[in-house]
């Protein structure tokens, strides 16, 4: 395997592969409305993560309907959505009950007068208090994951002002974590691969960075996952001591971080984080935006380690992306600092769409379906099978450096060389080539420069897993021979 593949050669090859869409087969010729949609995509739409020039060179997929883990595009082709939207379509596409619940609420009362709360919003808050661990009993609703984390950090900082510790404002997050795209949240975590923040300097004040407990690439030199967990957690303690605990408001972490890719920490990590935060009186925020609502085979991923965070951020799976809603859920002792009814005590934080009744009604129905259909257990069982199948591929493809995952959150770390573990860069073209190879096999799956992360709807079965694993296997084989890796 050679690491220095010429990017020109790859670009030419990608174009060739792009014309190689053997499957799925179109059943309709593109009608006028598809053409109009594509024209609008290329000329007017500002999509996230995709450039319009790149889109102009292909016929962008225009999904028009969906059922389970599959969508149908405007030309009648069927696709398996391996990441269920943005790892956010937990209960699957086409859940008519959710659509009905939302429509019914919209017909009855689509919004609420200033200073009032609607029935589904209050019921959703009660449901979250019942289903989250410990005394995480009070929910502030948001429109998505970034807002949930932004809210959680604001709660943590405002909590300490109310407690008379206004010097506590710093936030510790981990490298290779992702917590959102807004003014504050974009400065949490960070990617080792791309400098996505360069356009927005200067950085938000008070950001402190710790290592990611990703055993395959342990920054602290841990050779086992336990060793890596212990060293990375201890590093948080050292940072707290270095900065002075009385300057730190919160530690924020995803139970399992996706960008690393899919860094499942050793079992000691989360209990140690809890212990350290207790010792120094720092608020522990669990970002369960991706991991929550069954994704990892438990309703919330912190339950794998019996840890109760002080604040939990959620979004995505709460409503399986049927509508935009998220929440920042606080423990009672945190929330109670904001009680008292005076202007100076309550939480000064208003979002017009917070607790939108239609989204809340959809979320309540979505959670009911996840529970009724045992989707959390399905994620655990099918996820274990998926992990086994992907692990088998590792022996076959040298480009696979590592496979990791828990439940239906899985990651494949691609390496130029298994010895050095060197990552691919975007300019190497591997991710672009893989997108086309996956598409040719009916899979919608978009790798990053050097990793494939997988987060399908929680309803998939072993047969779907076989289809995905075969698609990845064939694609890697073809990539290897086409690019002479």
Q: What are phi and psi of 459, to 5 degrees?
A: -100, 5
In order of 231, 310, 355, 364, the CA distances from 127 in angstroms are 37, 18, 13, 8
Q: In the stretch 250-289, what mask flags binding to ligand PLP with x, by CB under 6 A?
A: ----x---x----------------------------x-x
- Scanning 177-185, 208-216, 433-441, 469-477 for contacts with ligand PLP by CB under 6 A, the matching segment is 177-185
Residue 239 to residue 228: CA distance in whole angstroms: 16
> Which backbone phi and psi does 375 adopt, to 5 degrees?
-70, -25
Shortest Å distance, C-beta 274 to ligand PLP: 19
Distance CA 444, CA 363 (A): 25
Shortest spacing between CB 258 and ligand PLP, in angstroms:
6
Residue 207 tokens read as: 């950001």
CA pair distance 188, 172, nearest whole angstrom: 8
List Cβ neighbours of 120 (8 Å cut-off, separation of 6 or more): 105, 357, 358, 360, 361, 364
Closest separation between CB of residue 303 and ligand PLP, Å? 17
Footprint of ligand PLP on 444-483 (CB under 6 A): none
Q: Please report, as residue ranges, which positions from 78 to 97 form the binding site for ligand PLP (by CB under 6 A).
A: 86
Q: Which span sits near ligand PLP by CB under 6 A: 142-150, 371-379, 390-398, 445-453?
A: 142-150
Query: Do 214 and 176 meet the contact criterion of CB atoms below 8 Å apart?
Result: yes
178 binds ligand PLP (CB under 6 A): yes
List 145, 215, 401, 405, residue binding ligand PLP (CB under 6 A): 145
Residue in the shown chain whose Cβ atom is closest to ligand PLP? 145
Closest separation in Å from C-beta 177 to ligand PLP = 7
Asked if 401 touches ligand PLP (CB under 6 A), the answer is no
Binding of ligand PLP by 314 (CB under 6 A)? no
Select 222 or 259, whichever has its Cβ closest to ligand PLP.
259
Least gap, CB of 21 to ligand PLP (angstroms) = 28
Q: Which stretch binds ligand PLP (CB under 6 A): 20-28, 110-118, 140-148, 455-463?
A: 140-148
Number of residues that bind ligand PLP (CB under 6 A): 14
CA 63, distance to chain mean position in Å, is: 21
When asked if residue 328 is in the footprint of ligand PLP (CB under 6 A), the reply is no
Both tokens of 1, joined, read 């395997």
Helix orientation angle between 225-243 and 269-280, rounded to the nearest 10 degrees: 20
How many degrees, rounded to 5, is the angle at CA 89 between CA 356 and CA 402?
A: 135
Question: Which residues of this chain interact with ligand PLP, rule CB under 6 A?
Answer: 86, 144-146, 149, 178-180, 254, 258, 287, 289-290, 315
């Amino acid at each position: 395997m050679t690491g220095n593949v010429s990017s020109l050669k790859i670009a030419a090859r990608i174009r060739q592969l792009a014309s190689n869409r053997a499957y799925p087969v179109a059943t309709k010729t593109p009608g006028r409305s598809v053409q109009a949609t594509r024209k609008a995509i290329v000329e007017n739409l500002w999509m996230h993560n995709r450039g319009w020039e790149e889109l102009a060179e292909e016929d962008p997929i225009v999904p028009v309907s969906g059922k389970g883990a599959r969508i149908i595009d405007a030309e009648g082709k069927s696709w398996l959505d391996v990441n269920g939207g943005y790892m956010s379509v937990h209960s699957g596409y086409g859940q008519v009950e959710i659509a009905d619940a939302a429509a019914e609420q919209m017909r009855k009362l689509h919004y609420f007068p200033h200073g009032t709360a609607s029935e589904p919003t209050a019921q959703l808050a009660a449901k979250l208090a019942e289903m989250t661990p410990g005394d995480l009993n009070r929910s502030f609703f948001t429109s998505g994951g970034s807002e949930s984390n932004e809210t959680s950090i604001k709660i943590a900082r405002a909590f300490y002002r109310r407690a008379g510790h206004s010097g506590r404002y710093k936030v510790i997050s981990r490298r290779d974590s992702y917590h959102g795209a807004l003014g504050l949240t974009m400065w949490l975590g960070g990617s080792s691969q791309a400098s996505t923040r360069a356009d927005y300097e200067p950085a938000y004040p008070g950001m402190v960075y710790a290592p990611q407990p990703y055993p395959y690439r342990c920054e602290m030199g841990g050779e086992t996952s336990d060793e890596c967990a212990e060293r990375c957690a201890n590093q948080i303690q050292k940072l707290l001591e270095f900065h002075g605990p009385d300057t730190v408001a919160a530690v924020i972490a995803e139970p399992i971080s996706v960008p690393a890719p899919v860094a499942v920490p050793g079992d000691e990590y989360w209990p140690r984080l809890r212990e350290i935060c207790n010792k120094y009186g720092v608020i522990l925020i669990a970002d369960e935006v991706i991991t929550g609502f069954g994704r990892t085979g438990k309703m919330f991923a912190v339950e794998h380690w019996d840890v109760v965070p002080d604040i939990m951020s959620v979004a995505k799976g709460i409503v399986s992306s049927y509508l935009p809603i998220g929440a920042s859920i606080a423990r009672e002792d945190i929330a109670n600092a904001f009680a008292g009814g005076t202007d100076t005590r309550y939480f000064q934080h208003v979002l017009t769409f917070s607790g939108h009744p239609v989204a809340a009604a959809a979320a309540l129905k979505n959670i009911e379906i996840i529970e009724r259909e045992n989707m959390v257990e399905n994620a655990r069982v099918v996820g274990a099978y998926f992990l086994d199948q992907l692990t088998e591929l590792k022996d076959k493809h040298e480009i696979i450096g590592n496979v990791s995952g828990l439940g239906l959150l899985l990651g494949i770390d691609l390496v130029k060389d298994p010895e050095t573990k060197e990552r691919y860069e975007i300019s190497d073209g591997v991710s672009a080539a893989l997108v086309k190879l996956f598409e040719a096999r009916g899979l919608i799956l978009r790798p990053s420069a050097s990793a494939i992360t997988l987060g399908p709807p929680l309803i998939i079965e072993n047969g779907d897993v076989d289809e995905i694993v075969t698609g990845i296997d064939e694609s890697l084989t073809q990539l290897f021979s086409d690019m002479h890796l």
